[in-house]
Amino acid sequence: MKHVYTISDLRENSLPENAKLAVLGYPVSHSASPQMHQAALDALNIDISYIRLELKPGELTEAFTLMQGLGFLGCNVTIPHKLEARENSHVISDSVKALGVANTIHFKDGKILADNTDGPGLIQALEEDFKTSIKGSDILLLGAGGGAGKAIATQLARVGCHKLYLSNRTASKLDDLSQKLSDNYAASIHTIGNSAEELSNAAKGVTIIINATSLGMKPEDAAPFPLESICPHHLVYDAIYSPPKTELLRAAESAGAKTSNGLSMLIHQGAISFQIWTERTPDISLMHRAITS
């Protein structure tokens, strides 16, 4: 079994015989999805190999046709193919309609069905990690104007959070998003910049703080939030999971706040995809061990 397969392998069918699930991306060699899904498949005695497929932009349409021909059950789709995946599908779920892109494809009865499990995965992660309900919660989202931030903001509003503060360094990137959310959902939406004063004031009115900026991935990064404003009642989630403990999470822990990182989001989105394909419930703790050990 190779670490990464390509469109040529699909064309020539030089794949493992039982390869029926895959993650599609460019690049894709770093993806942890195969370890996580393979562990869950093996534990349920489902004889399927989950592979990585590196597809260049523009190769997705052909790849879907070839995969259908080879009897694939489905795939995960990651950057940069999530929009193209939606456009190449016959049926799209409500989640794809709301979030605009797809991360899960199910090949079923000759049709291509698109879903998005990133949003629901995030909500499950927050609710389980923090033992709370997102419906009715007051939340501050950092980096709401980035790619991940927009999807997170939409999902939080969609499931009925109460007050949602959207912060972004480039505040103008929030204009369309806040308009869209206010038009479509009941949540009360407030947009702010990322000055220490604005963030600190917003933090006073929320219980949940989520970091969706890229700050914290590199050791030299500044913190995305004035750390002295974190209180013990805050629930602080960092979408970054590498490193597992960013400066934000370390400071939150020291302040006595509950914390969690994006690994739980990754696992829950994967578990929901797994259920869509197999109609079986995977073992979440096994999936967690498979990507952390």
Min dist. Cβ of residue 147 to ligand ATR (A): 3
Under the binding rule (CB under 6 A), the answer on residue 216 touching ligand ATR is no
Catalytic residue among 2, 20, 82, 111: 82
Q: Binding residue for ligand ATR (CB under 6 A) from 140, 215, 271, 272?
A: 215
Strand 163-167, strand 208-211: pairing? unpaired
Q: How far apart are CA 55 and CA 127, in angstroms?
A: 34
Kindly tell me which of 168 and 259 has the beta carbon lying closer to ligand ATR. 168
Catalytic (active site) residue 82 = yes
Task: State the burial class of residue 62 (Cβ atoms within 10 Å of its Cβ: 0-12, 13-18, 19+).
Answer: middle
Compute how many residues bind ligand ATR; rule: CB under 6 A. 14
Chain positions 170 to 189 lying near ligand ATR, rule: CB under 6 A, are: 170, 173
**Other CB atoms within 10 Å distance of the CB of residue 203:** 19
Q: Which residue has the tokens 């349409």?
A: 61
Shortest separation between residue 169's beta carbon and ligand ATR, angstroms: 3
- Tracing tokens 């949602």 back to the chain, one arrives at 164
Cβ-contact 21, 47 below 8 angstroms: no
Check residue 214 for interaction with ligand ATR (CB under 6 A): yes
Contacts of 37 (CB under 8 A, 6+ apart): 21, 50, 270, 274, 282, 287
Q: Which of residues 28-67 bind ligand ATR (CB under 6 A)?
A: none
Q: Does residue 194 touch ligand ATR according to CB under 6 A?
A: yes
8 A C-beta contact, residue 103 and residue 77: yes
Nearer to ligand ATR, 78 or 89 (CB): 78
Region 128-167 residues binding ligand ATR, contact defined as CB under 6 A: 143, 145-149
Q: Taking CB under 6 A as the rule, does residue 288 contact ligand ATR?
A: no
Binding residues vs ligand ATR (CB under 6 A): 143, 145-149, 168-170, 173, 194, 213-215
Task: List residues with catalytic annotation.
Answer: 82
